Structure 1
Amino acid sequence: MAMERSTVKVTIYTDGSARGNPGNGGYGAVLLYTNPRGQEFRRELSAGYARTTNNRMELMAVIAALEALNRPCAAEVYSDSQYVVKAFNDHWIDGWRRRGWKTAAKKPVKNVDLWQRLLAAMEPHEVSFTWVRGHADNALNNRCDELATTAADSGRLMEDTGFTEGDAD
């Protein structure tokens, strides 16, 4: 009799930040996992980028967190970004893909490079998205904000190679 493998459950909090639009930006993510023995594990991720946007950093936070997972997981993502959460929960992304990465108004979808990277990062996982109010009383969302803004202000900034002027909101 084959043993049924249990799905690894991971809770992920994410946030992005930009100082100007475009401007220096950063993302932060906190990943939480409890193993079968009840041991809790926490991993924090962050990075800063020059000349980027808040929405790109919101996307990068989720991408970095999912790309950090080393096996298929059930990942519950908490984000204060309506842009990210609604893209999946309200099925915007389905329409964008169906229309060849065009909005309902037939305009090019912004940040296509990151949306495609996010879809690829999601592929091995079961991912759900939950919106949380930003800058409120959620300690983990606030920690992600701190990670993101610290990275944006760090002076150790990478180039956001996919950024184009059309991505600015």
Structure 2
Amino acid sequence: YTDGGALGNPGPGGYGVVQLFNGQCRELAGGFRLTTNNRMELMACIVALSELEHRDRPVWLYSDSSYVVNGISKGWARGWRRRGWVKADRQPALNPDLWGRLLDLVDELTVNFHWVRGHAGNPLNERCDQLAVAMARQPGLPADIEYEKLKG
């Protein structure tokens, strides 16, 4: 399970991950001083897949971000990358740095993306949201360097 968000969007942001395997639960979280909701949703998925202990087994990834789930499941992100990070409407695709990292991870794993409704009482999605918000509120967060380069 993954979630991400930014206070103010853009603003301080955080992501949360809950990994379940063989009855064990592992939580991961992080944040940045200036970023966006979508960047944190992507980052949550990247961290979740990067930190897998068992990379030879299928993974079910649950996210409340239709941006991320559709971007992968409907092949949008692959198309953007194939066209040099340009969308079908000829506009630049946002967050190519993170989409590229996520696509690379998806290419080396067997990942099944599933959309879940956010803030609908799913305990693991709610826990990811709590982790993300708590991280976004931390003082002294590091820079989301790629985002700040674009906005700088």
User: Same-fold call, TM > 0.5?
Assistant: yes
Mark the CA change 1:138 to 1:115 in structure 2 (over 3 Å): closer, same or farther: same
What is the one-letter code of the residue matched to 1:54? N
Residue of structure 2 equivalent to 1:64: 47
In 2, Cα distance between equivalents of 1:165 and 1:87: 23
- Give 1:165 deviation, angstroms: 7.3
Residue of structure 2 equivalent to 1:105: 89
Q: Which runs of 4+ in 1 moved over 6 A?
A: none
* TM-score, with length taken from structure 2: 0.93
In 1, Cα distance between equivalents of 2:73 and 2:61: 12
Q: Which runs of 5+ in 1 are unaligned?
A: 1-12, 35-39
Summarize deviations over 1:80-127 as a string: whole Å, max 9, x none: 001000011222123212322101111111000000111122232101
Q: Which runs of 5+ in 2 are unaligned?
A: none
Q: Whose radius of gyration is greater, 1 or 2?
A: 1
1:50 partnered with 2:33? yes
Structure with more of its chain in helix, by fraction: 2
Residue of structure 2 equivalent to 1:79: 63
Quick check: 2:81–2:100 contact (8 Å CA) kept in 1?
no
1:159 partnered with 2:143? yes
Q: What is the root-mean-square deviation of aligned Cα atoms in Å?
A: 1.5
- Give 1:166 deviation, angstroms: 5.6
1:15 partnered with 2:22? no
Identity of matched residues, %: 51
Quick check: 1:110–1:166 contact (8 Å CA) kept in 2?
no
What is the one-letter code of the residue matched to 1:29? V
What is the one-letter code of the residue matched to 1:139? P
What is the one-letter code of the residue matched to 1:87? G
Residue-pair matches, total = 150
